[in-house]
Amino acid sequence: MFRYIVRRLLQMILTFFGATFVVFALMFANQDDPVQALAGEKPVSASLREALTERYHLDEGFFGQYWYYMTNLLTGDLGESISGREISALLETAWPVTVRLALMALVIAGVFALAAGVWSAIRRGGIFDNGTLAFTLLLLALPIVVLAPVAQWIFAMELDWFPATASRNASFYALLLPAIVLATTVVATQLRVTRTSVVENLGADYVRTARAKGLLPRRIIWVHVLRNSLIPFITLIGVDLGVLMSGALVTEEVFNIPGVGSKLAQGIRTEDGPMVVGFVSILVIVFLVMNLVVDLLYAALDPRIRYE
Amino acid sequence: MSDPTTLDSRPRSLAGDAWNDLRHNKIFWASAALVLLLLLMALFPTLFTSADPTDCVLSRQHDGPSGGALFGYDFQGCDVFARTVHGTGSSIQVGLLSTLLAGLIGLSFGMAAGYFGGAIDAVLSRGIDIVLGIPVLLGAVVLSGRLSGSGDDGVTAVTLTLGLLTWTSAARVMRSSVVAAKSQDYVAAARMLGAGPARLMFRHILPNAIAPFIVVSTVLLGANIAAEATLSYLGVGLKGDALSWGLQISDAQKHARVAAAPLVWPSVFLAATVLAFIMLGDAIRDAFDPKLR
């Protein structure tokens, strides 16, 4: 286990520097004169230009600036947005509602995917199985940019079942519709993976043994099979997190939820470069760390991984 | 790829088998027909509508459907049907070109990593890991904003952005199928006959390893079309006078309470396009992978 953790950590460090480097390089791509960009149309005086160059280390070259960007990022100093607000402060007010939304979406998707996945695996080829297959295909084909506005229009405006927007301290109920919409981005893959691995496990030797022992079918499925089928499901959660982040960007924008996603969308709209890059950097780090956690969890669950 | 030694007169190559399977697959024909219809709409939008999508008159704002405008008019008084039909072009164009770019990058990365192995594989695979460490939409938001100039319509920027960020799954699939194909006897035979690396790679390994890659690329095409709409919705995709389903959804969403048609129709077109490519990919995968049958 120890060797696995060390190897995984080394990999993570490499990916971390690589990914932040790419984000940084993306920010630099096609940038000609940041001082002029900051000033807009106004002419910049020589002394102001010098002061800004000094302050943002613009004379340091690409790698020098990457060094400053990394040290700032690691010490939690994300700099200021163009409107002059601390980016870390913006992030601090925005993250709780986003985390709540993402957790709700994960739970909704997970519960539905496990229940429906197990059920359609047991009744393979039945009406329910074919129905869920068609349903997941439909979900895969509905991009969040279609689903979120259309769901808001149908369920919040026409039918009036849910509120159309949610505030920072939104109730569970107000976040329910956005969370369901967000859950649809990950539920289809989760369901298909669960179904496949349950089908695989149902044919395994240990299931036959359990049956021969005379265990209740209910116990075989929900304890023995499900526990083994959870492994691919859990690895998927790491990938899902990236999908959820992208999804939250649109969902929060549509439902006007003042979370990380809508702040980021706002930064994009107002062409607030530092804010967009700061938020994206933090999200990428969260994504990498969560993937590390998921991988370690995976190793803890499945002894076969540890000793490879 | 036919085998002359069998007595059966029909060629029994993998591609032949797959085609035989596809020919009898209703889902394949349905999705292929839908894709063809969309391609036709993208190339010749005037076949479907004679109305000018940029002809907007505020006085007919949110007017209902009529003989001239099937889906009615939007907030600006533009013909929703004409705008949706003309929007097909940019969606398909961005989707095709960005998938082509991603496919080329993925193909070369995967081939090189799989064929050469060792240190080259290690370096290239870490490169893939690094790009995978950045969720596509987040990277795209930064890159697309950077690439597009202030005056242009953003088509080039979005195409480049999606191409540069979405090649990883294609590269991974290509790498593993090249690794599998490399150790086959026919490759060893060709090598013993004196074939060089380039000939081995392109004449012997590539045709036998490309099927999973094609499947992944077809699904990616649908995903990239959706990603373009998402980026346009967020304001870092197509912009200005460009016609895009994402832009239409973004504009119509604000007025959905008053008029839903301008929101619903581009959504339906977008979903149908993505669905067509996913189903096409599914059908091709079923045909090429007999294990899944």
Cross-chain Cβ contact A22/B233 below 8 Å? no
Among A21, A23, A143, the residue with its CB nearest the CB of B142 is A23
Name the burial class of residue A217, with classes exposed (0-12), middle (13-18) and buried (19+) by CB atoms within 10 angstroms of its CB: exposed
Given pLDDT bands bounded at 50, 70 and 90, which one contains residue A202?
Answer: confident
Could you tell me the CA-to-CA distances from A46 to A40, A171, B263 in Å, in that order? 15, 53, 50
Which residue from B80, B95, B78 is spatially nearest to B42, judged by alpha carbons?
B95
pLDDT tens-digit profile, chain B (293 residues)? 445 454 555 556 667 777 777 788 888 888 889 999 999 888 887 777 777 777 777 777 767 777 666 777 777 777 778 888 888 888 899 999 999 999 999 999 999 998 888 888 888 888 888 888 888 888 888 888 777 766 677 888 889 989 999 999 899 889 988 888 888 888 888 888 988 888 888 888 888 888 888 888 888 998 899 999 988 888 887 877 778 888 888 888 878 777 777 888 888 889 999 989 888 888 887 777 655 44
Q: In the 3-class helix/strand/coil scheme, how is A221-235 assigned residue by residue?
A: HHHHHHHHHHHHHHH
Record: contact B145-A268, CB cut-off 8 A: yes
Token output for B114: 């799989």
How big is the CA angle at A89 (ends A87 and A92), to the nearest 5 degrees?
A: 110
User: Measuring CA to CA, how many Å separate B257 from each of A9, A143, B181, B253, B261?
Assistant: 51, 21, 56, 8, 10
Instruction: Tell me what ipTM this predicted complex has.
Output: 0.81
A142 Cα to chain B: minimum distance (Å): 5
Q: Do A18 and B234 touch (CB under 8 A)?
A: no
Q: Looking at the DSSP assignment, which residues form a beta bridge with residue A86?
A: A80
DSSP bridge pairs for B56: none
Q: In this predicted structure, what is the pLDDT of residue A40?
A: 65
Largest CA distance in chain A: 86
For B234-288, the pLDDT digits (tens) are 888 787 777 888 888 888 887 877 777 788 888 888 999 998 988 888 888 777 7
List pLDDT tens digits, range B181-203: 888 888 888 888 988 888 888 88
Q: Which of residues 271-290 of A touch B (CB under 8 A)?
A: 271, 273, 276-277, 280, 283-284, 287-288
Find chain A residues with C-beta within 8 A of B292's C-beta.
none
Average pLDDT over every residue of A64-68 = 79
Residue A97's pLDDT is: 87
Query: Rounded distance, CA B129 to CA B134, Å?
Result: 9
Pick the residue with more confidence: A47 or B160?
A: B160
Between CA A167 and CA A174 the distance in angstroms is: 8
Taking CB atoms and an 8 Å cutoff, what residues of chain B touch A27? 142, 146
Q: Hey, what are A86's tokens? A: 């601390």
- Which one-letter DSSP state was computed for residue A179? H
| A215 residue type, one letter | L
User: Which position has the higher pLDDT, A158 or B162?
Assistant: B162
Centre a 10 Å sphere on the Cβ of residue B52 and count the other Cβ atoms it contains.
13
Q: d(Cα A45, Cα A35) in Å, to the nearest integer?
A: 10
Non-local (6+) Cβ contacts of A94 within 8 A are A258, A259, A260, A262, A263
Tokens of B42: 């993208």
| Helix and strand element counts for chain B (H, E) | 13, 0
Angle between helices A226-255 and A87-122 (to 10 degrees): 130
Alpha-carbon span B56 to A222, nearest angstrom: 60
B159 contacts B101 by C-beta, under 8 angstroms: yes
Per the CB < 8 A criterion, the answer to whether B89 and B45 are in contact is yes
